[in-house]
């Protein structure tokens, strides 16, 4: 009846990796700069429960002192693969390192691609065609082009430094189910151009007050090799996705999926699933850190979201029994004080809590796959990649 709860605090990096310069990310430090911003405001970050799990012991965090006792194993992990995006990070966490960078189109998609997109999806949209085709923040571009979209019926297309083709549409112009169908067809076009993911981005509201809804849906490539979840399913072990996780793996590897759209509903879904699923893997992504605060360069909101997670941790830990393992990590960085609006190439934290756990320093792990390997070992299977640190969870205390 072993159980692992794996939570990805999306984009919570803990400092630049040695190759950050190759990605234009020298000096990036998501957690450090958020905490420093709060110190400068006169109200240091209040995350006592995360600190008890070791978040402030991985490296110095401005304004957050390590507690006298740490209750979990802690460390940081490097991304061994090529990427600083959602898919590269999550695939590697599950034991499938990305060996080559996905194709990006930061200057907009080629004319031939857009022509193929219109040819395949024109009948599914209110008006064939598109607006945008630029790299942009999702909230900025719907504010800029939303009124024209409503007037013309043409969908809004945009991208980022990630390998992603995003399509935004007002729910009153293109109903959600129709946008999903359009994006599913679009994925069949763009995958031939090396693009890893299409995201449907519905929104509502009026000019000056457009708001994206939680009816987002992702269409992504399947991992080219087995993942942790594939191995678990093959062994008959339950696997539950909460939030956007299942779509990141091409809708493969999960026996159950729970829809949830923001940190609050995702956290509640984790708690509810812990009440009903006694064994196996529960895998969730806390999307707001990245989507609402990292990309929008909002250190104030990011700090509040960290404190909100911290407040729910006691409730989460109280639901975990002697055969449970909690793994809390991230997939990449997204420093809200850094120029631009894109992910940053950073180490990510790894916190591993079990009942009666001790403050073991896991050091710097060579790959995110060590997280998946540890979950696999806990559940009795072998992850395709990575080195498990499960044995270290019962090692003598170091802090």
pLDDT in tens, 58-109: 999 999 999 999 999 999 999 999 999 999 999 999 999 999 889 999 899 9
Is residue 211 pLDDT above 80, yes or no?
Answer: yes
**Which tens digits make up the pLDDT trace of 322-363?**
999 999 999 999 999 999 888 999 999 999 999 998 899 999
Give the whole-number percent of the chain exceeding pLDDT 90: 93
Tokens read off for 298: 């909002």
399: pLDDT strictly greater than 50: no
Share of the chain above pLDDT 70, in %: 99
pLDDT of residue 115: 97
pLDDT digits (tens, 9 = 90+) for 245-278: 999 999 999 999 999 989 999 999 999 999 999 9
| Residue-level pLDDT at 1 | 84
pLDDT for the residue numbered 326: 98
What is the average pLDDT value for the chain, to the nearest integer? 95
Instruction: Calculate mean pLDDT across residues 173-193.
Output: 97
Residue 397's pLDDT is what?
Answer: 53
Report angle CA 24, 249, 316 to the nearest 5 degrees.
Answer: 90
Per CATH, which fold does 3-96+223-394 belong to?
Alkaline Phosphatase, subunit A (3.40.720)
The span from the CA of 180 to the CA of 368, in Å, is 31
71-84 exposure pattern, b = at least 16 Cβ within 10 A, e = fewer: bbbbbbbbbbbebb
Residue 236 makes CB contacts below 8 A (sequence gap 6+) with: none
Q: Model pTM greater than 0.85?
A: yes
**For the chain, which residues make up each domain, given as ranges?**
3-96+223-394, 111-219
* Per-residue pLDDT at 349: 98
Structurally, at CATH architecture level, domain 111-219 sits in 2-Layer Sandwich (3.30)
């Amino acid at each position: 009846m072993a159980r692992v709860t794996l939570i990805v605090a999306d984009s919570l990096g803990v400092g630049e990796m040695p190759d950050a310069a190759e990605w234009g990310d020298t000096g990036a430090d998501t957690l450090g700069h958020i905490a420093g911003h709060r110190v400068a405001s006169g109200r240091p970050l209040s995350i006592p429960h995360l600190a008890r799990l070791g978040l402030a012991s991985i490296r110095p965090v401005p304004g957050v002192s390590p507690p006298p006792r740490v209750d979990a194993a802690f460390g940081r992990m490097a991304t061994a693969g090529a990427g600083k995006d959602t898919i590269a990070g999550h695939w590697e966490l599950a034991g499938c390192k990305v060996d080559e960078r996905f194709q990006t189109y930061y200057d907009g998609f080629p004319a031939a691609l857009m022509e193929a997109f219109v040819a395949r999806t024109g009948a599914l949209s209110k008006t064939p065609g598109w607006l945008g085709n630029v790299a942009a923040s999702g909230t900025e571009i719907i504010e800029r082009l939303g009124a024209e979209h409503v007037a013309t019926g043409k969908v809004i297309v945009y991208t980022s430094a990630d390998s992603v083709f995003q399509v935004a549409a007002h729910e009153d112009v293109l109903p959600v189910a129709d946008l999903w169908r359009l994006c599913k067809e679009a994925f069949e076009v763009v995958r031939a151009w090396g693009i890893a993911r299409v995201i449907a981005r519905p929104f509502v509201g009026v000019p000056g007050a457009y708001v994206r809804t939680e009816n987002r849906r992702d269409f992504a490539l399947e991992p080219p090799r087995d993942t942790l979840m594939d191995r678990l399913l093959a062994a008959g072990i339950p696997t539950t996705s909460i939030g956007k996780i299942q779509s990141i793996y091409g809708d493969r590897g999960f026996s159950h999926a729970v829809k949830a759209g923001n940190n609050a509903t995702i956290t509640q879904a984790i708690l509810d699933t812990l009440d009903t699923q006694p064994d196996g893997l529960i895998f969730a992504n806390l999307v707001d850190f990245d989507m609402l605060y990292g990309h929008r360069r909002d250190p104030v909101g990011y700090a509040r979201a960290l404190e909100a997670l911290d407040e729910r941790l006691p409730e989460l830990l109280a639901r975990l029994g002697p055969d449970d393992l909690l793994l809390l990590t991230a997939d990449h960085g997204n420093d809200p004080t850094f120029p631009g609006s894109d992910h940053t190439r950073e180490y990510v934290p790894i916190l591993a809590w079990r009942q009666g756990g001790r403050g073991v320093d896991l050091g710097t792990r060579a790959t995110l796959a060590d997280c998946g390997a540890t979950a696999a070992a806990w559940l009795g299977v072998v992850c395709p990649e990575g080195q498990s640190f499960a044995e270290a969870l019962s090692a003598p205390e170091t802090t």
